[in-house]
Amino acid sequence: MLLLQYEPIRKAGKPFPILMAKTHFDFKQFSIYHDRCAMKVGTDGVLLGAWADAGPHVREILDVGTGSGLIAIMLAQRCEADVTGIDIDAEAVGQASENGLSTPWKNRLHFERADALSYEPRKPFDLIVSNPPFFANDLQCPEKRRNNARHSQSLPLDILAGRAAEWLREGGEFCVILPPGMADPFVMQGWERGLNLCKRCYVHTVAGTSPKRTLLCLKKGEAPYPESTRLYIRGQDGAYTEEYRRLTEAYYLHL
């Protein structure tokens, strides 16, 4: 049974849509259980998993801060790469592993408990993705596991950019999703470490409102002039836009 529902959006300017979590979320080809994870399945993760380019040239993928394994599993669905997910939270890694074992791509999914600050991969990656913690330290909640998943203190963004630059092969790409105000500083942090912006997408909850998230793709090495696009999740009538349907239709049950 579907145990997680969309929060309806009826008016322009309503907060960014969230997915209200219970036990699990059913997608078209897999289910994600997340009751043991500090962070639940949410729109940010679905957007990043659907937007990141996992073309035939991609053979090795790393998901940093994998949580329930959602993004890693989404990427495994549409490519032939080996996908590794790392997280500092042992409970999350255990549940991600269980989620992965229930998919048709279980032989290409690997989940490890690891701290990104000290992680040493055995091989370089063609693609790295991360829905990173980005909240300020003064907004912390009492639960330590949730703080680690949400707050930049556990994984500062400048360090994340540096580690991604170390782990990527030349020409590899690093995709993240961030609030708009953090996007330009992060692009600069990446540039200082040899990662060049090649694609940016401003995500708007509703047409006519300010963007609530920014999707970024940084390339290790030379990159063409960056492509900039906009994605509107819903139109003024509250219905999902055709562009959002195209992006996520391979995953959502009811699109």
Domains, the chain, with CATH or none: 5-248 (3.40.50.150)
Distance in angstroms (rounded) separating the CA atoms of residues 135 and 125: 27
pTM: 0.85
Distance in angstroms (rounded) separating the CA atoms of residues 37 and 66: 10
Q: Does pLDDT of 134 surpass 90?
A: no
DSSP strands (E only) in 27-124? 31-33, 60-64, 82-87, 109-113
Q: Does pLDDT of 16 surpass 50?
A: no
pLDDT in tens, 138-168: 554 455 545 444 434 568 999 999 999 999 9
Q: Which CA distances in Å does 174 have to 20, 68, 101, 102, 217?
A: 28, 20, 26, 27, 6
C-alpha radius of gyration, the chain, whole number: 17
pLDDT at 155: 83
- Would you say the C-alpha torsion 142, 177, 220, 71 has a positive or negative sign? positive
